[in-house]
Amino acid sequence: MPSGSTPSSPIEDKLFPQKYTFQIKGRVYSLDKPKIMGILNLTPDSFFEGSRVRLEEKMILNTAEKMISEGADFLDIGGYSTRPGALDISMEEEVQRVVPAISLIKREFPETLISVDTFRSGVAKHAVESGADLINDISAGNLDSQMLAAVAQLNVPYIAMHMKGTPQTMQEEAIYQDLIPEILYYFSQKLEQFSKLGIKDVIIDPGFGFAKTREQNFQLLRDLKRFNALGLPILAGVSRKSMIYKTLQINPSEALNGTTALNMFALSQGANILRVHDVKEAKETVTLFEQLYH
């Protein structure tokens, strides 16, 4: 990942995401403007019911087409629910959920970039072989000892997230002496590991909701700009999460307005990619952000 960014004034540095490029299968893609990643969950128990997609070709294609038409730059396809306390499933079941969907979407929408949301190297390999362009790993290689070697071999961009524990135990792991420095140290260690393995294009995700309390999530968002020091693109995933609906005392289905508010703040702090359930509203947020500051 090139570490350089386009020269800008000190004021602009505070308002605009850094400008990066990454390579996918020989083509160069630019993150000169904030991008939208639409969430396509092929799980029956994701925390937001409205994001669940049945394993039916027509529904998968309709959902993908809707997100693409509304402005999604990426589709993030996952078959393993990572909500707090989610049930574990086998790798075989996860593969059966995501691989046919990736193949289907790539056949119908070949120019659409797809990330596979998995922490398992076997799923990642099958997904990339079926057309996935990026790997989105909630554990940054911690939950599968073969994942990082697989990413290096597959030579695709890697989204590395901060989490402690597993989806089943992470809520018990939200203990920090100094939240932001500890997460920055975590990523600095990971980046050294990635570099030694030859993993070139890395996007970091600070992991909102993963081994963090509600208060810690807001601290993380307030200080998101500090992660620009790592010199890598930042993905922010706050969409409809408990930091929103518990604060507002509503449920996930009512958390779109809160999501939009926090997405705008994330952009102002340097987020390059917004991972969202609601593409149209996120795209409008990006458009207004650019109109405000460009």
Residue 3 domain-assigned (yes or no): no
Tens-place pLDDT, residues 166-185:
888 888 899 999 999 999 99
pLDDT at 81: 83
Question: pLDDT tens digit string along 18-36?
Answer: 779 999 988 999 998 999 9
Residue 5 has pLDDT above 50, yes or no: no
User: Does 39 map to a domain?
Assistant: yes
Q: Is residue 213 included in any domain, yes or no?
A: yes
Q: What is the mean pLDDT of residues 237-251?
A: 97
Lookup result for tokens 């079941």: 93
How far apart (Å, rounded) are the C-alpha atoms in residues 23 and 128? 14
Based on the structure, what is the number of domains in the chain?
1
Question: Beta strands of 186-255 (E only): which ranges?
Answer: 202-205, 235-236
Tell me what the pLDDT averaged over the chain comes to. Answer: 90
- From the list 97, 110, 109, 131, the residue with the least C-alpha distance to 120 is 97
Statement: residue 89 has pLDDT above 90: no
Q: Which two tokens stand for residue 224?
A: 């998101």
Q: Compute the average pLDDT of residues 219-223.
A: 98
pLDDT tens readout for residues 103-150: 999 999 999 999 999 999 999 999 999 999 999 999 999 999 999 999
Query: Would residue 7 count as lying in a domain?
Result: no
Is residue 12 over pLDDT 50? no
For residue 138 the two structure tokens come to 């909630």
CA angle 176, 171, 175 (to 5 degrees): 10
- Quick: pLDDT tens for 154-166: 999 999 999 998 8
Q: What's the pLDDT band for 84 if we cut at 50, 70, 90?
A: low
The reply to whether 248 falls in a domain is yes
At residue 4, the pLDDT reads 43
Asked if pLDDT for residue 2 goes beyond 80, the answer is no
CATH code of 94's domain:
3.20.20.20
Q: Is residue 15 part of a domain?
A: no
Which helix (H) or strand (E) segment is 29 a member of?
strand 27-30
Domain, as residue range, for 271 = 32-293
- pLDDT, position 55: 66
In a domain, 272, yes or no: yes
Catalytically active residues are 241, 275
